[in-house]
A and B are shown apart, each in its own frame.
Chain A
Amino acid sequence: MPFTKFTNLDFDQIKTSIKDYLRANSDFTDFDFEGSNFSVLIDTLAYNTYITAFNSNMVVNESFLDSATLRENVVSLARNIGYTPRSRTAARAHVTISVPTSATSPTLTLQAGLVCVGTANESTYTFSIPENVSTTINGGVATFGTTASPIEIYQGTFLTKQFVVDGSLDQRFILDNSFIDTSSIVVYVKGPSDSGLGREYQKVDNIIRIERTSEIYLLQEVQDEKYELLFGDGIFGKKLENSSVITVTYIITDGKDGNGPSEFSFSGTFRDSSSNPVIPAGSVTLTTVQGAMNGGEIEPVSSIKYFAPRLYSAQYRAVTSRDYEAIIQQIYPNTESVSVVGGEELSPPQFGKVLISIKPKNGDFISDFDKETILSKLKQYSLTGINQEIIDLKILYVEIDSSIYYNSPQVSNVSGLKATAVDALNTYASSVDLNKFGGRFKYSKILQIIDNADRSITSNITKVRIRRNLKALVNQFAQYELCYGNKFHINSQGYNIKSTGFYISGNTDLVYFTDVPNKTSTGTLDGSGRGVLSVVKRMNDGEYRVIIASAGTIDYANGEIIINTINITSTEKENNIIEVQAYPESNDVVGLSDLYLSFSISDSTINMVKDVISSGEDISGVTFTRDYYTSSYSNGELERK
């Protein structure tokens, strides 16, 4: 029997194949007995084969970005194509600090390092600043930051590390801590002729526009999520002189855990202009402008594998939409999902324009400040003559109205069962199918998830709604357009579009949007797939009265609502929001182009209904159809409840 099995990676399989071979080709017999000498020899051979197979398998796997599993190797392979994985990011809060002081110097400096302590989730987190902040003293009070321009504090501990350059070729400058937020790293190099800490060096990502005298350093991740600084060689970047002292300050952070604190107690230190410590004359007032947010974990291996080849193919040039996706991830690490639409795809086309929507990891909107930062950083990657615009996220909410039938003898606590079903839905709501541009809400999955949430659930009847939030410009005449990107279901009687209440000028009653599909003279749908939007109010007797017959148009086929000029004065919901819902023609809802799909469970309706047939209370089904019946179609209410 030839020895042909080369693919075995398991010790027992290797051993068995050696025994099979010997059984057919040898005079010996005792290898089947574990105590025999032959068995000892076979074990040694099989072990050797196993180790060799394992090693060669690892070597080959770890040599390629696609199959590497150890972070160190993935990072190293990504480095070959010029990709630096994102570090942990510290949660940042914005505060102003006001200090009464009797110091006679003109300025007061808040020392780099610990500034304050904040609490979230019953844990205490320290907040630091990476560099000194100075301000002038006016009338015995020094104020750091203003509401419009507060100081930024980083969650984490401030650390300093010094290296003395010894001129040897193998000297490495490795920062000894994991969990560093690399954006907080500040590097000073003190040459023989410099005073103080020396000159500050700037971090660069590539060697474009770098000269022999540029004071720069590069950063790379090495073993155990630590970072190494690389300095110039005298050709690209200034070379370090012997005996120079490198001082590196940085912040190590708790990452995502640091998000949340919004109340802080001050623990910082002050110095006057002569660097003497200053004790505040009274209590320090620390005002929070924005609580800590945007903390994030180090980039996971899966993300590095995904983005490294993309950034490489983008070649630091934002040309295609995929390029933008990779580059924006790099320059704004808080990005969860990016959608980029070229102006030529818009209607009407806007050539030379690129529209970008970004979903940040925490929250729905990115601040104007962040938008400006992203756009200015993007400029160095983008083509000349192309203008980028960051537009606010358009969220398409998917809601369900579900009646869940349960077998009552198997249930001791109905609200507990409901919570189990909601938990299962929440897991799906946070999955990758949703929460992204181009995401898809899969109806059949939802039915399955509900049915499988608990053994006592016998069935469910689930209706799907889609919703957009209309942010009203109050006390202004304005036109609105709401795109859903999904075809609407048309009920010829109307009741397809529903909204929460709002007030319009010239009318004191709470009013709602509703729809009237276009019909022929015989009262059937005219097939145009269009309709008219009306504004109605509810009378005391429960009847509805039309306030504005033609307040806009509805394109059911394309899922668009256009509202003519209207002056909305206030809304029933907070923040000037009017929730406008529709029923999709297909229960599978898609997040089209710039729409971000979000499954809103908090706005969904979940009813628990006793399945009297399964429980045996109703044998004939008469009680079930009379008292426990659920329609699979939408209700006849005009308002959104």
Chain B
Amino acid sequence: MAVTRVSRAFKDISLSFEPHPVTKDLPILKNENAIRRSVRNLVETIPTERFFNSLLGSEVRSSLFEFVDYGTASIIEDQILTTVRNFEPRVTNVKVEVDPQPDENTFNVTVVFDIIGQDVPTQAFTFILEATR
């Protein structure tokens, strides 16, 4: 019989390490926030950066010095999609939109996804990829 997965709460630690003003506990990321952070971590990790797991991460950083056009945007889109599909099993219906901003030399990235087994609306988060030097 197939195992039925029950819906669970996701709970992760926050790397800001700023204590709660009242309880002085470490900050906690829950559910969609935790997953959103996780997707962001995956995209921003450079492959080989993680010990003994050289495949984890995406190569978007290496594309940042390419021309800021739709061609490069499409490559980045693919890279992010592949990474999320491979390493984040909690999300589905992943869509990535990369919008090149040639004047600012940046890409606006929006990742849209659904969380499996959680009764929350479709999640989206946006970040800017920019070559800083």
Q: Chain A interface (Cβ within 8 Å of chain B)?
A: 11-12, 27-30, 33-38, 40-41, 43, 46-47
A30-B38, A43-B50 given; name 10 further pairs at CB < 8 Å. A28-B11, A29-B12, A30-B11, A33-B87, A34-B42, A35-B37, A35-B38, A35-B45, A36-B37, A38-B12
- Closest residue of chain B to A33 (Cβ to Cβ) is B38
Do residues A28 and B88 form an inter-chain contact, with CB atoms below 8 A? no
Contact check, B9 vs A40: say whether CB atoms are below 8 A apart.
no
Interface residue SS majority, chain B: loop
Which of A28, A29, A33, A37 interacts with B89 by CB under 8 Å?
A33
| B73 interface residue per 8 A CB criterion | no
B4, chain A: closest CB distance, angstroms: 18
Alpha-carbon distance between A11 and B50 when the two chains are bound, in angstroms? 12
Q: What are the residues of chain A within 8 A of B41 when measuring CB–CB? A: 35-37, 40
Contact (A35, B13) CB under 8 Å given A11-B51, A30-B34: no
Task: Chain A residues near B11: list those with CB within 8 A.
Answer: 27-30
- For A35, what are the chain B residues with a Cβ–Cβ distance below 8 Å? 37-39, 41-42, 45, 87-88
Segment 76-114 of B: residues with Cβ below 8 Å from A: 87-90
Kindly state the separation between the CA atoms of A29 and B31 in the bound complex, as whole angstroms: 10
Which of B10, B14, B37, B56 is A34 in contact with, Cβ under 8 Å? B56
CB distance from B17 to the nearest CB of A (A): 10
Given A29-B9, A30-B38, is A37 in contact with B14 using a C-beta cutoff of 8 Å? yes
Chain B, interface size category, equals 20 to 34
A37–B13 Cα distance when bound, in Å, is: 6
Q: Which residues on B sit within 8 Å (CB–CB) of A43?
A: 50-51, 53
Q: Which residues of A contact B53 (CB under 8 A)?
A: 34, 43
- B51 proximity list for chain A (CB < 8 A): 11, 43, 46-47
Query: Which 4 interchain pairs have the tightest Cβ spacing?
Result: A35-B38, A30-B12, A35-B42, A47-B51
Bound state CA distance, A30 and B9, in angstroms?
A: 9
Interface presence of B8 (CB below 8 A): yes
Complex interface: chain B residues within 8 A of A29 (CB): 8-12
Q: Which residues of B contact A33 (CB under 8 A)?
A: 38, 87-90
B15 within 8 A of A: yes
How near does chain B come to A49, taking the closest CB pair, in angstroms? 11
Query: Given the complex, which residues of A lie within 8 Å of B14, measured CB to CB?
Result: 37
Chain A residues with CB below 8 A from B9, complex form: 29
Kindly state the separation between the CA atoms of A12 and B51 in the bound complex, as whole angstroms: 10
> 1/0 contact trace for B4-26 toward A, CB 8 Å?
00001111111100000000000
Q: Taking A28-B11, A29-B10, A29-B11 as contacts, is the C-beta distance between A36 and B52 under 8 angstroms?
A: no
